[in-house]
Amino acid sequence: MGKNRSFAGDVWQFLKVSKAWWLTPIVVILLLMALLIIAGQSAVIAPFIYALF
């Protein structure tokens, strides 16, 4: 049991193993946006996120 890595560990390993460093800026921005989108998916918080702009 427990051979899978954490999500962040997987992302780091993926960039390292596949040497896809060109992906780093996209991945970082997407991860940041993903956090906001995931927060936005839960309908209760969604209306309050617009206060962030």
Partner 1 sequence: MYILGISCHYHDSAATLLKDGLVVAAAEEERFSRRKHDAGFPLAAIRWCLESQGIGIDQIDHIAFYEKPFLKFERILRQHLDNFPRSFKTFHMAMPKWLTEKIRIRSVLKKQLGYRGDVLYVDHHLSHAAGAFLPSPFEEAAIVTVDGVGEWTTTAYGMGRGSSVELLRDIRFPHSLGLLYSAITAYLGFSVNNSEYKVMGLSPYGRMDRSAGRGSAGDKAANPMYSKLRQVIDIHEDGSYRLDMDYFLFQHSDRMPAERLCRLLGGPVRRPEEELLPRHKDVAAAVQMITEDVVLAILRHAHHVTGCPNVVLSGGVALNSVCNGRILAETEFKNIWIQPNAGDAGNSMGAALFAHCAVLGRPRSYRLDHAYLGPEFSGAEIGKFLSDKGIRHSRFASREALVSEAARLLHAGQVVGWFQGRMEWGPRALGARSILADPGRPDMQAILNEKVKHREAFRPFAPAVCAEDADEYFQCDSPLPLPADFMLMVYPIREKWRARLPAVTHVDGTGRLQTVRRAANPLYYDLIKEFGTLSGIPMLVNTSFNIRGEPIVCTPGDAYRCMMGTGIDCLFIGDFLVRREDNSKDIWDSESVATD
Partner 2 sequence: MRLGPGFSNLLPYAIAAILLTGAGHLARLWLNQAAAPPAPAKDGLRRGMGRAWLRGLQAFFHGTAACNNFIFLSVAYFAGIGITSLFAGRKEKKFPAPGSTPPAGYWQDLNLGKREADAYYRPF
The residues that touch partner 2, with contacts defined as CB under 8 A, are 3-5, 10, 13-14, 17-18, 22-23, 25-26, 28-30, 33, 36-37, 40-41, 43, 46-47, 49-50, 53
Q: To 10 degrees, the CA torsion angle through 26, 30, 8, 4?
A: -100
- Give the shortest CB-47-to-partner 1 separation in angstroms: 17
Tell me the C-alpha distance between 44 and 27, whole Å: 27
Alpha carbons within 13 angstroms on the beta-carbon side of residue 43 total 0
- Give the shortest CB-14-to-partner 1 separation in angstroms: 5
Contact call for residue 10 and partner 1 (CB under 8 A): yes
